[in-house]
Structure 1
Amino acid sequence: MDGLVAAGTDHAVAIAARIAHRLGLPHPLQPEAAALSVSKLRQRERLAAVGIGQPRSLACRTAAEAAAAAAELGYPLVVEAPNTVGERAVRLARTADELAAATAGALAESRGDYCLVEELVGGRVVTVNAFSLGGRFVPLTVTDREQAPRPSFGETTAAAAAALGIEHGPVTAQLLLGDAGPLVAKVSARLGGGHDAELCRAALGVDENALAIAAALGEPVHAHELEPTTVAGGACVRFLVAPRGALVEVEGVEQAFTVGGVRAIRVYRRPGHVFGELLRASDRAGMILATGKTRAEADAAAAESARRVRFVTVPAEAVA
């Protein structure tokens, strides 16, 4: 074993850092920084200590504590089981009844004995993907649904990464755009999910996957490797959603590839898979990555390509 890398999911980040430390392997993260990056509660506490803005939240261990949090924070609220994989057990509560149900579900799925009850911040959610190089924070991509100024995003994420001790390796963060400016929702010491590394390579020519592996192996990462080699005017990932039912076949993929600007198409599931309601990232059916001279051009290419893809499903009971 030469090194360990945890890409795309938080749960493995701290495990990889601990194993590398115990085996004396090179690793971009110290165990303490890795532990902070995967614990949303500890992360909240550390960022609050250094004055970095974030949504107001309270740790709750019972339904009564959640009700008290609601009285303090006000509705609507986001209830989350922290330290779980992906977006599981993240629910929106607009009423007391919804809060009770969301709290019960979050506590049932939590890896600890608490859930987080958090104010819902209006506005967009953006993701910042970056790389820390010896303590120097290099922002690479900012992904969101509308045009937004980049500098404050990079500065806010850089301050959060520094507060958590992330000095080397990939960083991905989610920021909420509140009235007072960007608020840190989450910082992770890993590559972003949702094909973020592929998007970065298509948009900037920077290979985050290769950089993450190099950092995990203790190999030098040079500043010029973080400099864009090709700059697309716009790039996007559009996820595909299948109708409910058992998948029979996927039609139109070849035609979808003929749309100008389409760089990649992936179908996640094979025939026989049963699609249900879209509740989390793992319920998606596929993705299309497109680039263009502008943001709008990339979005339009992905939309036209997606229009040509058809997931043929039948009622699940028909194949039971």
Structure 2
Amino acid sequence: MTKRALIMVGGSRGNGPLHIQAAQRLGLHPITLAADPTQYDYLAANGIQANRIDTDNLDALIHECSRLRTTYDIAGITGFAGLDESIPATVGKLCQHFGLPGPNPASVERCCDKFIQRQRLAAAGVPIPAYRLAANATEVESSAAEIGLPVVVKPAMGCGSSGVRLCRDADELAEHTTYLLGGKHVWRSSPRILVEEFAQGPLYVANLMGNEVIGITAYEYGPPPHFVVRECICPAPLIDDDHQRIADVSLSCLRALGLGWGPSNVDFRWTKRGPVVIEVNPRLGVGEPILIRLAHGVDLVTEHIKLVIGQEWDLRKRHPQTVGWRSLLPDRDGILDWIDGDCRAAAVPGVVDVKFYIEPKTPILRKGDVRDSMGYVIAVSPSLAQSKAILQRAVDLISWSITPFPTSGES
């Protein structure tokens, strides 16, 4: 009998392993197509078929999928954005080409361009920060002057907080503009920079499947000027009215952007004027499926794959729990001498997972984005206070040492 295959474009150290496991539970043969499969260690560790392919080349992907169809029954195609925001739209185009269930590629493409997304949300009356589009340093400076410092400066395309920075004064603005335009940031097309008002207040992320809000997570960032997630709590501690306001605005976002097929997530800041939309992402959030499964009993990855292969999903919530997640963030650049305490932390009652992404002797070079995390700890209990206490107890048992890189002049 011909194996039913699930094609996965790109990879993700967070959601990738979850998709592999869910696909296999559903009786599917997972196949990864990636520009560099070796950067995803879970593929080799699990003996997953991985083919090297240019994921920017739609024709090459179509050709490879057509070749695979001579051996496998391709049940569905999905993928991961990683730091490449174009992959979700590419997946939509592949699904369309092969007549498989998938998102509308045009809607996804528009959504992944943050400037076009902002325009559509503004036209629909969705509350968003003030924003401007800039292509050079002069336009960045004038945009910031119009909006008023502090501002958030980011590439118009991208994800994982790559290239995103809070600029609190003229010096920080000039420094980050030079970074983005001076050759250090990798642009996939002509540089387009979004300069926007810094919406201040607690951060929340709404997770949706189709047109249903499944859960809302509260986020906390590490120190500015970067936006690196330090801690999450799911479900977010919100009163019913505030939860409903976020849910209502989330659905308004989907209507404005032509989304509503499969997973999406919406980032909010709760400001003086209520929930303000920071970003809409037409995909599963990294790490969010674990939080939602533990907090609500809904396996977003499995239910998404069911949709991808044309099966009926089940989004019923099965239990209420409070989940705490803490990222292990380095405090300096250098060489990681050692990191330990994972076994002690995992033994704390209520801790459900401890993971280190890196090993000793690894160079640590902070980028100010999602790649900075060295690992995480997850705790679960019936209450917010208990989960936070368990999480802190576990994190306190983990320690590491980083030897700074030699400064210039040192031998």
TM-score normalised to the size of structure 1?
Answer: 0.90
**CA offset at residue 96 of structure 1?**
2.2
Q: C-alpha distance in 1, partners of 2:144/2:115?
A: 18
Alignment of 1:1-320 (within 5 A): 1-7=74-80, 9=82, 10-27=85-102, 29-107=103-181, 108=183, 109=185, 110-111=187-188, 112-132=190-210, 136-145=211-220, 147-148=237-238, 149-193=242-286, 195-221=287-313, 225-232=314-321, 234-242=322-330, 244=332, 245-277=334-366, 279-316=368-405
Q: Which amino acid aligns with 2:196?
A: E
- Tell whether the 8 Å contact from 2:348 to 2:394 is kept in structure 1 after alignment: yes
Q: C-alpha distance in 1, partners of 2:197/2:108?
A: 26
> For structure 1, which segment, 300-309 or 89-98, has the greater mean C-alpha deviation from structure 2 after superposition?
89-98
> For structure 1, which segment, 275-284 or 141-150, has the greater mean C-alpha deviation from structure 2 after superposition?
141-150
> For structure 1, which segment, 242-251 or 110-119, has the greater mean C-alpha deviation from structure 2 after superposition?
242-251
**CA offset at residue 176 of structure 1?**
1.4
Q: Sequence identity, in percent? A: 27
Aligned length, in residue pairs: 309
Ranges of 4+ aligned residues in structure 1 off by more than 4 Å: none
Q: Which amino acid aligns with 1:226?
A: L
Q: C-alpha distance in 1, partners of 2:401/2:155?
A: 34
Q: C-alpha distance in 1, partners of 2:382/2:213?
A: 24
Q: C-alpha root-mean-square deviation of aligned residues, in Å?
A: 2.0
CA deviation profile, 1:196-215 (whole Å, cap 9, x unmatched): 11011111110011112122
Q: Secondary structure at the match of 1:45?
A: helix
Q: Secondary structure at the match of 1:168?
A: coil
**CA offset at residue 315 of structure 1?**
4.5
Task: Tell me: CA distance 1:211–1:8, structure 2 relative to 1, closer, same or farther (3 Å).
Answer: farther
Larger relative contact order (CA 8 Å, sep ≥ 6)? 1
CA deviation profile, 1:156-195 (whole Å, cap 9, x unmatched): 11110121111221111101112111111111111111x1
**CA offset at residue 117 of structure 1?**
0.5
Q: Which amino acid aligns with 2:200?
A: G
- Tell whether the 8 Å contact from 2:291 to 2:323 is kept in structure 1 after alignment: yes
- Tell whether the 8 Å contact from 2:218 to 2:237 is kept in structure 1 after alignment: no
**CA offset at residue 18 of structure 1?**
1.3
CA deviation profile, 1:242-273 (whole Å, cap 9, x unmatched): 45432343322111112121111111112221
- Tell whether the 8 Å contact from 1:130 to 1:140 is kept in structure 2 after alignment: yes
Q: Secondary structure at the match of 2:75?
A: coil
**CA offset at residue 131 of structure 1?**
0.9
Q: Which amino acid aligns with 1:123?
A: G
**CA offset at residue 51 of structure 1?**
0.8
